[in-house]
Amino acid sequence: MENKSTVENNLVEIKEKIEFLENLYKLRKNEEITDFNDGLILRYVEIDSSEIRELNENIALKGAVSYAYGLMGGKTGILILRDVVPKKFRRYVAIHETVEVVTGNHWYAVQDEFKAAEKELSKENFKEYCEFRLKMHKNNIKTVKEIRGWVSARTKRVLSNVQKELGIVLRKRPDQP
Ligand SMILES: [Zn+2]
């Protein structure tokens, strides 16, 4: 169990992170992009990952950061890393982050993100999107398995093919070393 001072330190860290992102968002507010999906308004700004390097080096892998606090009338903001996420995929990253901010549930976010991408992207681009997403979790088999539980049968098939191509092995036979 974490002791009190560790918890307090973490809270200070989270508060500083939110303030940092909030300020960055404010600076870019005039470049805000608005989009829509399934009754949701998507609003985000695009930044370079170098701008948030001091926050956390793992963030760059994910392609976006979002912050949210104060459930009622609180402040939220989504920042997408343009050097990490190709332009044609930013909408789906925005859907993920928006659903996550609204529901607080990462798996609902995965579900809606893949649903929209599967519906809207060409076959070729959708496969590329699956590659882009799975590469983020190449070293986390548990996450790859969980994603499969939240997507359609068609998406699951595309993900399976991409997994094979990327060499992501979900299950090893017991006799394998
Ligand atoms: Zn998420």
pLDDT tens-digit series, residues 112-158? 999 999 999 999 999 999 999 998 887 788 888 899 999 999 999 99
Q: Distance from the CA of 103 to the center of ligand 1, in angstroms?
A: 11
Specify whether the CB–CB gap between 75 and 29 falls below 8 A: no
Q: Is 115 within the bounds of a domain? A: no
Separation of 9 CA from ligand 1 center, angstroms?
24
| pLDDT interval class at 72 (50, 70, 90) | very low
Q: 11 to each of 6, 7, 15, 81, how far by Cα in Å?
A: 9, 6, 6, 25
Q: List Cα–Cα distances, 176 to 87, 141, 171, in angstroms.
A: 41, 17, 10
d(CA 68, CA 109): 15
CA 85 – ligand 1 centroid, Å: 15
Predicted TM-score (pTM) of the model is 0.84
Evaluate whether residue 121 is within a structural domain: no
**Is 62 contained in some domain?**
yes
Q: Domain limits at 9?
A: 4-87
Structural domains in the chain (count): 1
User: Does residue 37 form part of some domain?
Assistant: yes
CA neighbor of 101 nearest in space, from 62, 93, 81, 16: 93
DSSP state of 19: H
